Amino acid sequence: MFKIIEIKMCSQSDEEFTYKFESGINYFKGGNSTGKTEFYKFIDFIFGSSDDISKKEWYKESLKKAVMIFEYQNIKYRCIRTLDKEINYFDYESEAINERNNITLAVYKDKLNKLFSTDEMLKKLKQFTNENLTFRTFTMFNFLGEKRQGLTYNFLDKCSDIKYYSKLNSVLNYIFNNNVEEIFELQKKIETLEAEVKNLKETSAKYDFINKQVNNNLRKLSSPKVYNGKNSNDILDYIIDYKQLNADKKIKKSKNIADLEFIYNELDEQIKIYENRKNDSKQILREYENKKMLLNTLNELLTDNKNFTYLVEPLTELLEEMDESISFSKYLIKDNTIQELKNQREILKEQIKDNNNKFQIFTIDDKNKFIILIEEYLSDNVKDVSDELEIKRKELKELKDKLKNLQNKDDTKKIDQFSNYITKLYKSAYEVSEIVGTDIDEKGFKIQYIKRGNVLQPKKNEYIKGKSVEVNYLMGSMARHTLIQLCGYLAFIKLLISEKRTPLIPILVFDHISKPFDKENISSIGKIISSFYEDISKEDVQMFIFDDKEFKDLGVEVDFSVDLKNTKKTGFNPFYVEKENNE
């Protein structure tokens, strides 16, 4: 059960005005400049939006604070927001208000988030999306304003804001995915494997360090031996002999140091040339892949439109050429020539160090230190884990690829059921709306939900070459689009409320939804909302409608209604109105 019981407005001179609400549909009528849109936004403000209302004419110098009392799961709560967004209050309605117990907006949101969600719910959302989603993210499903009415593509109003739109895809993937448990198991395996890879990387780094240090000290002893990570006993035997002054001190023949440095510089220059070429190839590859993505999208659009079939074949040829270019760029990037050159450069670097060590004189104490260091490093007995690390990395990549595919895999059955419910709501207005009647009479009419792009796409059947084919149904009427958009909002609320998997405030708020409708079709709004409430209890979802028409005109059976303008005030904020009257 959920219900906003009241919102109390308090002026700076401590006057009070209270709006009381009922479960179900609450209707607010008002003409221009009566604050319909401000009231619409104010509900979101009370629920934690970051709007700074202190600078708005509707509030500055008139409003001091607003108190909302609401009931959720049979417990009453009190929220208080002031014009200073960092001074807020949240507690049980039965508790006395303590002015000193004010909280920041972040804490205020956190308290609401804990109320409308559970730890398990947030944990699963975090696991699936890898984002910290809260109830504020899901307010995208609560509000349909006037400016973005009639949209059937990316149709959620708040998704015009990048902070909501950037999270939409993750949210929709979570809602319409039937592999959630498998994904969680896969994520546990990935987490375990990542820990193993981390440990192996640390071991590998330690191994490389020891290998380097042992060989550095062996060179200082003019040793012909080279430590390779597997010949510890051989190196230790050499050290024993060296201590007994029986070590083989023959010096390896090597090239003149000047020749070595010349060859080293030549290799270094070649490596730079190859690296520049590799970087250029990566840039070209990115450009090719971006072009391919755009061309694929265009190809999909053209394939669906029979008027542009003559463009499909040349576009297909262009995509094939693009694949060849991408393959060539990848070949250049994977060319191992540069790695071979780097290996040769490392060998030369070691030879130059050997030459330098030949002409450096070390004392007996120095040599003893080198021997002690070699013995200490070898005592760690660290093994070469590069092969095991490579296997684990490959396994980790395969698991991450599998995870990504599962996360993007849609539950088509659920999407079809969702589409059918949207269509059902739209069809419920058949008898009261001429435009709906015209659409429903089209053979095979339905509204298909498309997750990619968050699209509500009307479709119908057409006979093409003697066969019945499903095609997109083009509907130019803004009223049609707004009705479909309304059905999309209602369907999402029903789905999310029923599943209880997401942190959601169970409200719907509409601003001036009647705007695109004429007298003959406006009652379709009420019919669709009534159909929605046949499936969802008014105790579970509360609705707020702000409009300039009478609620009877919309065909809405309301549970509470009020005029924002009356003899005592001329708008939503009564204190602002009184100030205007005084002037």
Quote the CA–CA distance of 560 and 557 in Å, as a whole number. Answer: 9
50 pLDDT more than 60: yes
**For residue 322, what pLDDT is reported?**
63
Q: Which two tokens stand for residue 524?
A: 């379709």
How are strands ordered across the β-sheet holding 25-29? 143-144, 507-511, 542-547, 25-29, 560-563
Q: Name every residue whose Cβ is closer than 8 Å to that of residue 192 and which is 6 or more positions away in sequence.
A: none
Strand, helix or coil for residue 16? strand
> Is the sign of the CA dihedral 468, 474, 480, 483 positive or negative?
positive
Of 237 and 70, the structure prediction assigns the larger pLDDT to 70
Angle between helix axes 312-334 and 257-304 (nearest 10 degrees) is 160
Reported as a single tens digit per residue, the pLDDT across 395-437 is: 999 998 888 888 778 889 999 999 999 999 999 999 999 999 9
Q: Rounding to the nearest 10 degrees, give the CA dihedral for residues 458, 463, 468, 473.
A: 0
**For residue 578, what pLDDT is reported?**
45
Reported as a single tens digit per residue, the pLDDT across 153-164 is: 999 999 999 999
* Average pLDDT, rounded, for the chain: 85
Reported as a single tens digit per residue, the pLDDT across 275-291 is: 777 777 777 777 767 77
> Is the sign of the CA dihedral 557, 560, 564, 569 positive or negative?
positive
Helices (H), 335-363: 337-358
170 pLDDT more than 80: yes
Q: Name every residue whose Cβ is closer than 8 Å to that of residue 336 and which is 6 or more positions away in sequence.
A: none
Query: Of 44-58, 286-300, 377-391, which one has max mean pLDDT?
Result: 44-58
365 pLDDT more than 60: yes
**For residue 253, what pLDDT is reported?**
47
Quote the CA–CA distance of 565 and 583 in Å, as a whole number. Answer: 18
Quote the CA–CA distance of 356 and 169 in Å, as a whole number. Answer: 61
**For residue 208, what pLDDT is reported?**
87
Q: Name every residue whose Cβ is closer than 8 Å to that of residue 556 and which is 6 or more positions away in sequence.
A: 25, 27, 525, 526, 529, 530, 545
| Nearest alpha carbon to residue 547 among 531, 568, 526 | 526
Beta bridge partners of 458: 447
Using 50, 70 and 90 to split pLDDT, how confident is the model at 345?
low
293 pLDDT more than 80: no
Q: Write phi, then psi, for 410 (nearest 5 degrees).
A: -85, 150
β-strands 507-511, 143-144 pairing = parallel
508 membership: H or E segment, kind and range:
strand 507-511
Query: Which pTM value belongs to this model?
Result: 0.69
**For residue 583, what pLDDT is reported?**
36
| Nearest alpha carbon to residue 545 among 509, 521, 517, 571 | 509
DSSP single-letter state for residue 418: H
**For residue 252, what pLDDT is reported?**
47
Q: Write phi, then psi, for 461 (nearest 5 degrees).
A: -100, 140
Q: Write phi, then psi, for 543 (nearest 5 degrees).
A: -125, 140
Quote the CA–CA distance of 161 and 412 in Å, as a whole number. Answer: 28
Domains in the chain and their CATH numbers? 2-116+139-146+504-582 (3.40.50.300), 188-407 (no CATH)
Neighbour tally for 494: CB within 10 Å: 18
505 pLDDT more than 80: yes
Query: Of 25-34, 174-183, 233-242, 250-259, which one has max mean pLDDT?
Result: 25-34
Reported as a single tens digit per residue, the pLDDT across 444-466 is: 999 999 998 999 999 999 988 88
- For residue 327, CA distances in Å to 126, 279, 284, 291, 322 come to 37, 16, 11, 14, 9
114 pLDDT more than 50: yes
Q: Is 170 exposed, middle or buried (0-12, 13-18, 19+ CB in 10 A)?
A: middle
The amino acid that residue 436 corresponds to is: V
**For residue 262, what pLDDT is reported?**
60
Q: Identify whether the C-beta of residue 211 lies closer than 8 Å to the C-beta of residue 231.
A: no
Q: Name the least confident of 166-170, 339-343, 406-410, 428-432.
A: 339-343
Quote the CA–CA distance of 378 and 380 in Å, as a whole number. Answer: 5
Please give the average per-residue pLDDT across 356-380, as a whole number.
Answer: 75
307 pLDDT more than 70: no
Q: Which two tokens stand for residue 538?
A: 């008014």
Q: Which two tokens stand for residue 562?
A: 């009020």
499 pLDDT more than 80: yes
Quote the CA–CA distance of 488 and 154 in Å, as a whole number. Answer: 11
Using 50, 70 and 90 to split pLDDT, how confident is the model at 214?
confident
Beta bridge partners of 79: 68, 90
- For residue 58, CA distances in Å to 52, 64, 536, 548, 579 come to 12, 12, 35, 19, 11
- DSSP string computed for 443-471: TT-EEEEETTTTEEEEEEEEEETTEEEEE
**For residue 242, what pLDDT is reported?**
82
**For residue 130, what pLDDT is reported?**
82
Q: Identify whether the C-beta of residue 65 lies closer than 8 Å to the C-beta of residue 10.
A: yes
8 membership: H or E segment, kind and range:
strand 2-11
Percentage, residues of the chain above pLDDT 70: 82
> Is the sign of the CA dihedral 110, 113, 118, 120 positive or negative?
negative
- DSSP string computed for 161-222: SHHHHHHHHHHHHHHT-S-HHHHHHHHHHHHHHHHHHHHHHHHHHHHHHHHHHHHHHHHHTT
